[in-house]
Chain A
Amino acid sequence: MAECVHLVRTSSYFDGALPAGDEAEAVEHLAGCDECQALLRDAATLDAVTSQAPPRAQVQPRRRRWPLAAAAIGVAVAAAIALWLAVPHGGGEGVPELAIELPKARAIEARFTGAHLGAYRPYDPLRGDRAHEAIALATLAELERRGDAPDLIAALAATGDLARAGELAARRPDDAAAEADRAALALAAGATDDAFVHAYRAVDRAPALAAGWWNLALAARTAGLWHVSRAAFAKVADRAEPGWSDEARRQIAAIDRQIAADHIPPAQLRARAAEHQASGRAALARAELDEATR
């Protein structure tokens, strides 16, 4: 039985991978095509179920980041070999892959998802979020040349160019990683409400994405919602990721001291949540309700 030729387009529409100009045509077809409707319904169902994957069920913790990096390295190596074979030696015109060099410590406490900028580097709290990292222009150019949007967004933010990072982040598809990055940018800009919105979207969409939890933890810590923050840091601590998990454990220890010193009664939290809900600050209200029930 021949299948509808537009199934890939419908699937890509759902995944946010269609150019905006093609979306109207895709839904026009969808309205009259039973096969595409069934596909979309099943895609939504599978998405709803996978969005509930507990972080612990994730295959070995280290597999999360490295397969991508390993695949990228594999591709880079293959490309380098192909280039080496194709280019006459001695007169090569090939563009070499430049190494991505970063400062040893990070200036933004929030966590990004890029393979390079998202790798663990200790946070330098003495410098604070207002400090900027000295990232070479050559590195920025190399990330741009590679089309590595997640790393470029994080790198621009690290250099203090939050405006350009924000523009790039707004253009990314609405997936969990992009939401985690938007949460990180909001945190760097001091916009805690927005950070809640994006961090919740990230963890709802991909509960195994550590950057989402990390940024939710920071937003909650900023808002003084200690239990929510602690629970989110615990998601990262549990993953045994070198660096990130250790920092999460130190955060938890500090939060435990705060909890002992600063207890907000649940009734007060619920009242605040109701106020915030009424004024359209739904993500903050959700965090406050979470805090009240812990």
Chain B
Amino acid sequence: MWKTPVLREEAAQPPVESLDDVRRRKMIGELTRQHRSYLEGLARRLCRNQLDPDDLVQDLFEKTMRSVPPIPAGANERAWLSRVLHNLFIDKLRRRNARREDPLDELVEPPAEDRAWWHTLTADEIRATLARLPEDQRRTFELFAFEGRSYDDIAAALGIAKATVGTRILRARQKLRDILTVERGDG
């Protein structure tokens, strides 16, 4: 099980914390409490049996603790952390494939050019945007994303092939991103 990470520097530091340190520690504690379980699940989904999901989450919180500020004000925290987690995952994947052991210093912040569309996104906004998608894609995506149904369940319920479920969900994701990028992103 993942535990609250302890920074190496923290262990060696003098006992007096600055006000900023205290604030940051509290913020990380709160982020952990609210999002830990979700992020562990996300890490498992990204890693499957290919990488260690616990390592990924541990790296994520260590990186977040070192960032100032940990997360920009006003950002959707979970979305932010998920994007950073994804970047760490890709980084680890590339390093594994390249068989290199470089320090984890790149790709940690979400790339600046794509920040706009998702930065303050809400579930209600996704629902509203979904209403503009073709009916078959909208319904399939809703069953998956909002009702937590598996591809097999959706295929059985809608009477379509499992592969069709996958294609519809992909198309829905692409259209959501395209619409949101145009309408709320600044590129």
Contacts and interface: CB of A to CB of B under 8 A. Distances in A.
B85 to A, nearest CB: 7
Contact of B167 (A8, A49, A286, A289): A8
A178 B82 CA distance: 22
A170 to B, nearest CB: 14
Interface string B85-112: 1110010011011000000000000000
A176 interface: yes
A74 B166 CA distance: 22
Interface string A169-194: 00011111110100000000000000
A75 B161 CA distance: 13
A1 to B, nearest CB: 13
A50 B126 contact: yes
Given A31-B97, A44-B42, A48-B81, A72 B1 contact: no
A25 to B, nearest CB: 10
Nearest to A281: B1
A12 B166 contact: yes
A150 B158 CA distance: 16
Contact of B49 (A7, A20, A178, A206): A20
Contacts of B76: 48-49, 52
Interface string B161-173: 0110111011001
Contact of B123 (A50, A74, A280): A50
Nearest to A72: B157
A117 to B, nearest CB: 14
Contact of A46 (B49, B148, B173): B173
A15 B166 contact: yes
Among B78, B96, B147, max chain A CB count under 10 A is at B147
Interface in A247-294: 277-278, 280-283, 286, 289
B93 A30 contact: yes
B173 A39 contact: yes
A11 B172 CA distance: 11
Given A46-B126, A49-B118, A177 B148 contact: yes
B48 interface: yes
Contact of B170 (A11, A23, A24, A177): A11
Contacts of A281: 1
A147 B45 contact: no
17 contacts: A8-B166, A11-B166, A15-B166, A31-B97, A40-B86, A42-B173, A44-B86, A48-B79, A49-B126, A52-B122, A72-B157, A150-B153, A175-B149, A200-B37, A209-B147, A277-B4, A286-B37
Given A27-B50, A68-B143, 7 more contacts: A11-B170, A31-B90, A45-B82, A57-B123, A68-B149, A174-B44, A283-B37
